[in-house]
Amino acid sequence: MINVMLVDDHDLVRKGIRRLLDDSSGIKVIAEAPDGEQAIRQVRKQKPDVILMDISMPGIGGLEATRKITQRSPDMKVIVVTVHDDDPFPARLLEAGAAGYITKGCDIDEIIQAIRSVYSGKQYITPGVAQKLALSFVNNQGKSLLEELTPREVQVMLMVVQGESNREISEKLCLSPKTTSTYRGRLFEKLGVDNDVELTRFAIRHGLIRENIVH
């Protein structure tokens, strides 16, 4: 039996995936979490085999949650389930330790295939994303603005565009307010934006957040 944990800030999404997986042989949903922080706490208690992780969530988000979980439990298999399918974000998540990457547009058969693949020790990337990643290397394309960001800068950006204040970001990431402000300034400089509104538009344009989660 493969024990699965669902992490998504939408209750209906979690319930929908749970219902579909409950009908699958050899797979059992044992836990759910609405954000990255709770996912980290739940993992310690429930110890699932595979985690289906959304990326666009309040708080630290799926990227940092994936990084923290895989750092503490290298054998834990995380599959990112997201609307994002543009390079370089899939690469960022794989670098953070994700074992799989699928989009929310895939069918239940592909979700099951991904779960079984990563559980057996393989990596699973939905075909469309895999093709884009492969082409980016084959064509030797230059780095995009996103690829110029460090993992921490990406993390801070996601929190900024979700409406987190400097104080909230500093507390959640254990940074000083001055350091958080420095990261924000670097983001503006690297991405060529002047304020949080422009940064948010950039994030939406590149598919890093859903427009309806911006506060």
For the structural domain made of 146-213, what CATH number should be given? 1.10.10.10
Q: Where are the domains of the chain?
A: 2-138, 146-213
| pLDDT for the residue numbered 132 | 58
| pLDDT for the residue numbered 33 | 93
DSSP type of residue 208: S
What's the N-to-C CA distance of the chain in angstroms? 40
DSSP type of residue 211: G
Sheet containing strand 124-125, strands side by side: 27-33, 2-7, 50-53, 77-82, 100-103, 124-125
Task: State whether the Cα torsion 22-25-31-33 is positive or negative.
Answer: negative
For the structural domain made of 2-138, what CATH number should be given? 3.40.50.2300
Burial class, 69, CB count within 10 angstroms (exposed 0-12 / middle 13-18 / buried 19+):
buried
| pLDDT for the residue numbered 31 | 93
Q: Report in angstroms the alpha-carbon separations of 57 from 105, 138, 194.
A: 18, 32, 24
| pLDDT for the residue numbered 102 | 86
| pLDDT for the residue numbered 207 | 55
Tens of each residue's pLDDT in the chain, 215 residues: 999 999 998 888 899 889 889 888 899 999 999 998 999 998 988 899 999 998 878 788 788 889 889 888 888 899 988 776 554 566 666 677 788 888 888 888 889 989 998 998 887 877 666 655 544 444 344 456 666 778 788 778 878 887 889 998 898 888 999 999 999 999 999 888 999 888 888 877 665 554 544 44
- Helix residue spans in the chain (DSSP H): 11-22, 36-46, 61-72, 89-95, 108-119, 127-138, 151-161, 166-173, 177-191, 196-205
| pLDDT for the residue numbered 128 | 64
Reported as half-sphere exposure (CB side, CA atoms, 13 A), residue 116 has a value of 11
Amino acid at 105: G
Q: Which two tokens stand for residue 103?
A: 């989009």
| pLDDT for the residue numbered 51 | 95
Q: What is the pTM of this model?
A: 0.63
